[in-house]
Homo-oligomer: A and B are copies of this chain.
Amino acid sequence: MTGLLTDLYELTMAAGYFEAGKASQKATFELSIRRLPKQRNFIIAAGLAQCVEYLLNLRFSVEEIDYLRGLPQFARVSSGFFDYLRDFRFTGDLFAVPEGTPLFAGEPMLTVRAPLIQAQIPEPALLSAITFQSLIATKAARMVSAGGGRDVLEFGTRRAHTPEAGVLGGRAAYIGGCIGTSNALTGLRYGVPVFGTAAHSWVLSFPSELESFRQLQKLLGPQTVQLIDTYDTLQGARRAAELGPPLWGVRLDSGDVIALARQVRTILDNAGFPQAKIMASGDLDEYRIRDIVAAGAPIDVFGVGTELATSGDAPSMSTVYKLVEVDICGIKRFIAKFSQNKESIPGSKQLFRLPDRDVLARSAECFPAAEALLRPVILGGQLVDSLPDAHAARARALKSMAALPPQLLCLDVVEPRPLEYSKELLTLIERTSKNRT
């Protein structure tokens, strides 16, 4: 991982910390959710694996260091700092909420405890990695919830913000509950199930629709999904039925899918293929899926692209990465920011999950009956244990969501889940607020 994949000010601050003799001062930063995105009752944490990969591989190349040396912002920086960058390794600790965990406003997702410079530089990469995947996992969870048991498949790579975002979006959508993705690289890298058959260009590249259907069947056998809307959807359905098995089913990609699905179902049933499935795609989101399900349209699988791959109605989330504690010669100083509407809460913390509420506490506190969600992932620069994979994260998400009060799974915004602060944390906030400079 290139060390320059960060904001310049992280590096100017790093240089400043170095020059001020603060390079080895231990600091604790917390990545937390300031506010939930609009129309969300929770988010599903995802992206931790990429944060870990980033921290463990963060390095500065000679070319990168030379580039910095040439910038006017580094004109006053001593060569000791560039030597420091050359030998840079992340030697600190990372505590994190496991991927697949539902989280709520005001809750921490990661804690980084490391020498100040090492904890400062990762800010943008950690925020971007975890916020993006959490947005996509959450959007997927909403679509799966709206689907009421029907399968949802992610195929939005072409709409993702760079092809790489498509790869990671496919991973996140799977964690959020999709059955898989269209992205082949997501399959290879993360073991996520991949799906895909043919596009309109396939149909159009043959002299006739029937010929294209025949060739697809020859290629895919029982996995054949005929795309039937290139010319006329009902005519396409009749042609697919005429050819008969092997046939997994058909895909509708345009028009009034509720009405068309009913007519196509009748065509397939009358031709003797009640087991042939119907997939719908084209401008779907969770609200449209809810409407289609409510209308009782006979659709078995939803394929979603744009809205899922970009978290279209909420493409960003107010996550923050804040300094909460510094150790100066072994003495902790607790840090909070008091800027208007942008306050932060001091001190290293733990987040406890109880059946009916969450409790934010100081890191050393115990709540015997509760699940402690911030767990050690990296200690002293070493991975503690191999991380759960995308399958395990998905299983955790599905299980955790099933355990939430059902109203939180609604598409509309409901009363937020209570988040309490422990007495010790309240005392610390009070104390830090009095000491502000």
Contact = CB atoms under 8 A, between A and B. Distances in A.
Given A9-B196, A182-B8, A184-B4, A132 B155 contact: no
A127 B158 contact: yes
Contact of A157 (B12, B124, B169): B124
A161 interface: yes
Interface residues of A, number: 111
A161 B158 contact: no
Nearest to A9: B196
12 contacts: A4-B187, A8-B182, A8-B183, A9-B198, A13-B199, A17-B205, A20-B206, A128-B163, A205-B326, A306-B316, A309-B316, A315-B315
A159 interface: yes
Contacts of A103: none
Contacts of A196: 7-12, 73
A185 to B, nearest CB: 4
Contact of A164 (B10, B131, B159, B162): B162
Given A9-B182, A341-B254, A161 B162 contact: yes
A106 interface: no
A71 to B, nearest CB: 7
Interface string A185-201: 10110000011111111
Nearest to A75: B221
A349 interface: no
A218 interface: yes
A204 B337 contact: yes
